[in-house]
Each structure stands twice: as structure tokens, then as C-alpha cells.
């Protein structure tokens, strides 16, 4: 049975999402990209292509016709929102178009019309001014996945061929992140990672390395009690569950080449502890993956880059990696 196409969201229309979408489609044959369709305003994407000085064929599409059209034209599925934003200048059309595109993509994949959702970057500040209530993409996707009043815990993984990392606490000030960190949260996050790596990456026995919170993983309590009191019990519980987990490990020695060979994913305690190493090692081709949802979601691991939107300087590498990984995850056979 053939895999359905990937549903690609518009993202913030004033950002580089349209630019990298166009660039990715233009390289579809060279890179053998999986079929995808863009959800948004066809006239808008054609205007952006003209501004970029490229020849772009587009076609009004449905999810069912997208794969057939993909070889000759960028399939665009309309969502009813006209876009007037110019590069680098979000306007009143930005937030409704970005939000509608996400809703539409999730509905398509839940209904089986698409194999996965790939989201272009959004501008949170633009959405907040329009009344958006969520910290970001991840939390909004979790709400859209709510069934029977049960909202899944979304887990953000940053993945590359070089390194995969998961922050237990995400978009919180550091003081709040430390206060939020609990043994239960670490255990629940790591369980979702182990399940996701088996189901979506085909890893039969995922090896998880849990970082310490404090320097040198607390030096047996002399540099902070959290490592012994919060993280070590989480590791013990995970091992009791049959999960290959170890730690807490000093974060400053976890990410060199030899250390990375000993685990499949690093579970880190806060945002920058996870994102600094992967953005150092895989800045251009890192992919944001949301685990714990009942559908596949990936995203480029960068922002809207308003300063270069519409200039032909945006690098599509991370979007290309996100599209490829989404298709790979959709094809993956769950590990036993």
C-alpha cells in the first residue's frame, strides 16, 4: 500500500516558510523528496515565488490528488484564508492563516488523508497578539489531539543523524524549569521517548542517557541535591520498567563523539541543556519531532527569520530533513 502524502503547513507567511517550501519543491527530483502538499493560499505562494525570481508551477489540489500532481506542480490545498503579509512584515492575515493551516493538516492526517504533519515555523509573538493561548506549536498540537477530554503529553525531540535529544522541561524560565522538574515527569517523558523510538524509528531497545541537572551531576550531593533526589529515582523506575536508561550523567561529557555512540537519545533536564549541543552539531539539518501524539509531526529546527524572508537566502536543509524524516517515520515498522 502506498504512503499518503505529507501535509505541510504554511507557517508564518511573512517568514521564510514559503521560501524554503518553494526551494524544497524545486529540488524534489534531485533529492527524491516524498510527495507533500502545502496548505494555504495558492495566489500568495505564487507571489512569493515571483519575488524570489523563480519559476514555480502550482496546482490547486486535494490530499487525494497531491501525490499525482507533485512531480509537475507544487500541490496547494486551499484552507479559505487569503494572505496579504509581505516578507518580514506580518499583518492581520498572518495569524489566521498560520493557525488554520495547522488545524487543516492535523485534520487531514487524523482522517488518513495524509501520512504526517510537517509544520513550517510560526511567529509566536504574532499569534499571541491574535489571542493564541498556547506556548507554541507543540502544546497546540496536543490540544488538537485531545480525545474524550484526555490531552496527550507532547514530548519534543530534536533529531539528527548525529544526535537526538529531548528536554524534559521546555519553554520555561530556568528557575521555573528547575521547580517543575519531578521524578514523575522524567519517567513519563522517557517512557514516551522509548515507545516512540520503537514505534516510529524501529529501535528495538532504545538506549536512553539521562543528564544530571547540576554541574558534574551534583557531585554526590555536594553541588545540589536534585540529581540524587529527583533524577536517580527516575532512572531506577525506568530500569524496573525494562527500559535501558542510565544516569544522571554529567552533561558536560555527554555529547562528544565517543559518548554519543553509547545511547540513542539524550534526555536532558531543561531546554538549553538539550538544544545547545544539537544546534552546535546539526544546525542546518536538525529536525523537531513531537512524540506522544497519535500522529507524526516534524518541523524544521529554526524560526521564521524575518530578516531574510523573500531574499533567496533561506536554507531549506532543515525542512528537507523534516520532510524526509516524516516519510521515514510513516514507513517505519514498529520494533518488537
List, for residues 210-246, the tens digit of each pLDDT value: 999 999 988 888 899 999 999 999 999 999 999 999 9
Rounded mean pLDDT, 304-318: 95
Q: Tell me what the mean pLDDT of segment 168-186 comes to.
A: 94
Topology match between the domains 1-154+292-336 and 162-281: yes
In terms of CATH, what superfamily is 162-281?
Isopropylmalate Dehydrogenase (3.40.718.10)
Q: Where are the domains of the chain?
A: 1-154+292-336, 162-281
DSSP code, position 307: G
pLDDT at 1: 47
Check residue 139 and give its pLDDT. Answer: 85
pLDDT band at 323 (very low <50, low <70, confident <90, very high): very high
Cβ neighbours of 143 (radius 10 Å): 13
Nearest to 121 by CA among 305, 279, 277: 305
pLDDT score for 2: 66
Average pLDDT score over residue span 171-180: 93
* Per-residue pLDDT band at 115 (split at 50, 70, 90): very high
> Would you state the pLDDT for residue 264?
98
Q: What CATH class does 1-154+292-336 carry?
A: alpha beta
106: left (phi over 0), alpha (psi -120 to 50) or beta: alpha
Instruction: Report d(CA 180, CA 183) in Å as an integer.
Output: 10
Integer Cα distance of 237 and 249 in angstroms: 16
CA distance 90 to 51: 16
pTM confidence score: 0.92
Residue 75, pLDDT > 90, answer yes
Is the pLDDT score of 152 beyond 50? yes
The grid cell for 155 is 514530548
Amino acid at each position: 500500500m502506498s504512503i499518503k502524502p505529507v501535509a505541510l503547513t504554511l507557517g508564518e507567511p511573512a517568514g521564510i516558510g514559503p521560501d524554503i517550501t518553494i526551494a524544497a519543491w524545486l529540488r524534489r527530483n534531485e533529492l527524491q523528496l516524498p510527495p507533500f502538499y502545502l496548505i494555504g493560499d495558492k495566489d500568495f505562494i505564487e507571489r512569493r515565488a515571483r519575488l524570489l525570481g523563480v519559476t514555480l508551477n502550482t496546482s490547486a489540489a486535494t490530499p487525494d490528488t497531491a501525490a499525482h500532481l507533485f512531480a509537475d506542480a507544487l500541490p496547494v490545498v486551499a484552507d479559505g484564508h487569503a494572505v496579504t503579509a509581505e516578507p518580514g512584515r506580518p499583518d492581520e492575515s498572518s495569524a489566521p492563516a498560520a493557525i488554520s493551516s495547522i488545524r487543516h493538516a492535523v485534520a487531514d492526517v487524523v482522517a488518513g488523508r495524509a501520512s504526517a504533519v510537517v509544520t513550517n515555523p510560526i511567529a509566536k509573538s504574532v499569534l499571541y497578539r491574535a489571542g493564541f493561548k498556547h506556548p507554541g506549536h507543540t502544546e497546540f498540537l496536543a490540544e488538537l489531539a485531545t480525545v474524550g477530554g484526555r490531552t496527550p503529553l507532547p514530548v519534543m525531540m530534536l533529531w539528527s543523524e548525529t544526535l537526538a535529544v529531548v528536554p524534559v522541561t521546555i519553554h520555561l524560565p530556568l528557575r521555573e524549569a528547575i521547580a517543575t522538574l519531578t521524578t514523575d515527569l522524567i519517567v513519563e517523558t522517557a517512557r514516551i521517548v522509548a515507545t516512540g523510538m520503537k514505534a516510529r524509528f524501529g529501535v528495538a531497545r532504545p538506549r536512553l542517557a539521562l543528564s544530571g541537572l547540576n554541574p558534574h551531576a551534583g557531585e554526590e550531593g555536594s553541588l545540589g541535591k536534585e540529581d540524587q533526589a529527583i533524577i536517580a529515582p527516575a532512572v531506577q523506575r525506568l530500569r524496573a520498567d525494562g527500559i535501558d536508561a542510565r544516569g544522571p550523567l554529567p552533561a558536560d561529557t555527554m555529547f562528544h563523539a565517543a559518548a554519543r555512540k553509547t545511547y540513542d537519545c539524550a534526555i536532558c533536564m531543561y531546554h538549553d541543556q538539550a538544544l545547545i549541543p544539537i544546534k552546535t552539531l546539526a544546525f542546518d539539518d536538525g529536525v523537531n519531532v513531537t512524540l506522544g501524539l497519535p500522529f507524526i509531526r516534524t518541523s524544521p529546527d529554526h524560526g521564521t527569520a524575518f530578516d531574510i524572508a523573500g531574499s533567496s537566502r533561506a536554507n531549506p536543509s532543515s525542512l528537507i530533513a523534516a520532510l524526509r524524516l516524516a516519510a521515514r517515520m510513516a514507513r517505519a515498522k514498529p520494533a518488537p
